[in-house]
Chains A and B, each alone.
Chain A
Amino acid sequence: MRQEMRPGTAPHRAVSPPLSPPAWQEFVRQRPWLVTLAFVLACLALWELAAARPGRPEYLLGPSQIFTELLALTQGGGLAAQVLASLRRALLGFAIGGGLGLLLGLLAGVSRNFRDLFDLTQAFTHPVPKIALFPVVAVVLGFTDISRVLIIAISAFFPAYLNAVNGALGVNPRLFWVARNVGASRWRSFWQVLLPASLPRAVVGLRISLMVSFVLMVATEVVGHSNGLGAALMRAYREGAYGPMYAGIVCTALCGMAANALLAQASRRLLAWQAHAGGHLG
């Protein structure tokens, strides 16, 4: 955006050296969050304007309307119950599926036999979208929490399993030699050497598992009869109650983000030692 200097013209004001940008640009560059903020505010403003325009579609609500709706629901209308129902399912499914995936993955990482036994079965079941099993499971076990948590757990299992296996495979074998040298039992080696050593990679899998758990939570609530956030917002949609629908969506989004943030925080704590890591560790 700099102006070319035409030959023969001389500026009357001092020209800053050609390579240094204007001060304000430098200021913003140091604080990129300003750009983020500006962008988000601009989007919200546009949205609000679009929602306020006469002749807008009925379902278009602006941010301010959604906010008031959300507040109303929190105070009055059983939002807490929905959230609890949904969260319980998602977290239970995550705990079971992710936990099992982690442990079995670690086991498969150290035991060639176990890994081979699991290998083909895992390869065949992995590509199946587990939500596709839900209608069948629901028919057999009913539209209950059991069938929902089961599907959520199965879906959460795989990312946790695969990453745990890779984590375990990547552990420096010398670390186990140290354990044997010291006379540590297999049990101790599993929990005190294998687990912490595999954790960085395994945690990546757990974070994916958590996200998957939330997606499946919504998916299982949207189909058939249910309670919970997914069901509530689907119901609101069908009844044309757009306010509660948006509120439900925002609520679901917040739950997903909160859970993810908590796990990220927890893993940062657990893996604090990695922050100090150089390249060549044992």
Chain B
Amino acid sequence: MIEIRDVSKTFRRGNRTVQALGPIDLTVARGEFVTVLGPSGCGKTTLLHILGGFEMPTTGTVTVDGKVVTGPGRDRGMVFQEATLFPWRTVQDNVAWPSRVAGESKAQARERARELLARVGLSRFADAYPGELSGGMRQRAALARTLAMEPSVLLMDEPFGALDAQTREVMQEELTRLWQATGLTVIFITHDIAEAIFLGDRVVVMGAAPGQVVADTRIELARPRDARTKLDARILDYRQQFWQLLRDASPAAASASDPAQGQV
């Protein structure tokens, strides 16, 4: 239901033109969970911004459900790396806000917010302010708020990147559980190989300069996935595969360290 056709993005620096992204051709089916894996600077965030309608492509079009994307919209919910909650509103008021903007009454919006908070496990913190919450809790609240928009697509920009390793793992398991229950289409950006494999139906690997699709691999791990999936032996193969791809795609990735490298 998402068609990315011939999308590219160029910037002008002084009198040089720098092609940051593209050309990219990609199709995403409804209900798919696609992870986009790539080193820093490969344009994956730019691609997400274009999908969200916050940046315009220099060439090409993005079509969602048959309609061309020309700007931001409630059908495509963004989740950023920093939770970006309104610090002056309680968690519940934050999650209720999208409903209010859509014209729902205070009571309706509050009811909906309560539902969503229960979904993400934050019911106890409904009246807390974002400043009082930990990073993981803030991201859950941000997710709940985005879900309040009732989007058909979730665009997630390394949402767990700022969290510590343990919280990250917990959030990954929760996200996949949530996705399983809602059937949303998700495009998830990350530079973490393990995360990409665990979450995605497909992993799209991007290389840098200019950012383009280097590989598009289907992940054959069984659904639904949970903590036990991480023990599956095929993960190591995928890991090796993507590690190699990333290294070939960008010299910068080669200098990054992957804990898995030591094994096998």
Contacts and interface: CB of A to CB of B under 8 A. Distances in A.
Contact of B84 (A172, A192, A276): A172
B87 A274 contact: yes
Contacts of B78: 177-178, 181
Interface in B17-39: none
B132 interface: yes
A278 B130 CA distance: 9
B98 A277 contact: no
B131 A278 contact: yes
Q: Which of A178, A181, A277 has the most CB of B within 10 A?
A: A181
B149 interface: yes
B86 interface: yes
B238 interface: no
Interface stretch (A105-113, A160-168, A182-190, A230-238): A182-190
Contact of A282 (B130, B146, B149): B130
B72 A177 contact: yes
B101 A181 contact: no
A281 B130 contact: yes
B74 interface: yes
A273 B102 CA distance: 25
Nearest to A179: B101
A192 B100 CA distance: 11
B72 A180 contact: yes
A273 B54 contact: no
Interface string B143-171: 00110010000000000001000000000
Contacts of A183: 72-74, 101-102
B83 A273 contact: no
A250 interface: no
Interface string A89-102: 00000000000000
A189 B131 CA distance: 21
A183 B102 CA distance: 8
Contacts of B73: 181, 183
B149 A182 contact: yes
Given A177-B78, A183-B73, A183-B101, A277 B131 contact: yes
Interface in B68-119: 71-74, 76-78, 80, 82-89, 97-98, 101-102
Nearest to A280: B82
A84 interface: no
B87 A277 contact: yes
A193 B83 CA distance: 15
* Chain A contact residues, majority secondary structure: helix
Interface residues of B, number: 32
Contacts of B87: 273-274, 277, 281-282
B179 interface: no
Contacts of A276: 128-129, 131-132
A196 interface: yes
A273 B101 contact: no
Contacts of B98: 182
Interface residues of A, number: 25
Contacts of B82: 172, 174, 280, 282
Contacts of A188: 101
B246 to A, nearest CB: 27
A101 to B, nearest CB: 21
A175 interface: yes
A274 B132 CA distance: 10
A277 B73 CA distance: 30
Contacts of A192: 97
A172 B85 CA distance: 11
Contacts of B101: 182-184, 188
Interface in B43-88: 52, 54, 71-74, 76-78, 80, 82-88
Given A181-B78, A181-B149, A188-B101, A281 B54 contact: no
A181 B131 contact: no
A76 B202 CA distance: 86
B88 A197 contact: yes
B77 A274 contact: no
Nearest to B128: A276
A167 to B, nearest CB: 13
Contact of A181 (B72, B129, B132): B72
Nearest to B73: A183
Contacts of B102: 183
Contacts of B71: 180
Given A277-B87, A278-B131, A282-B84, 15 more contacts: A174-B80, A177-B72, A178-B78, A180-B72, A181-B52, A181-B146, A182-B98, A192-B97, A193-B86, A199-B88, A276-B132, A277-B129, A278-B132, A281-B130, A282-B85
26 contacts: A172-B82, A174-B82, A175-B86, A177-B72, A177-B80, A177-B84, A180-B71, A180-B72, A181-B146, A181-B149, A182-B74, A183-B101, A188-B101, A196-B86, A196-B88, A197-B86, A273-B89, A273-B131, A274-B87, A276-B128, A280-B135, A281-B130, A281-B131, A282-B80, A282-B84, A282-B85
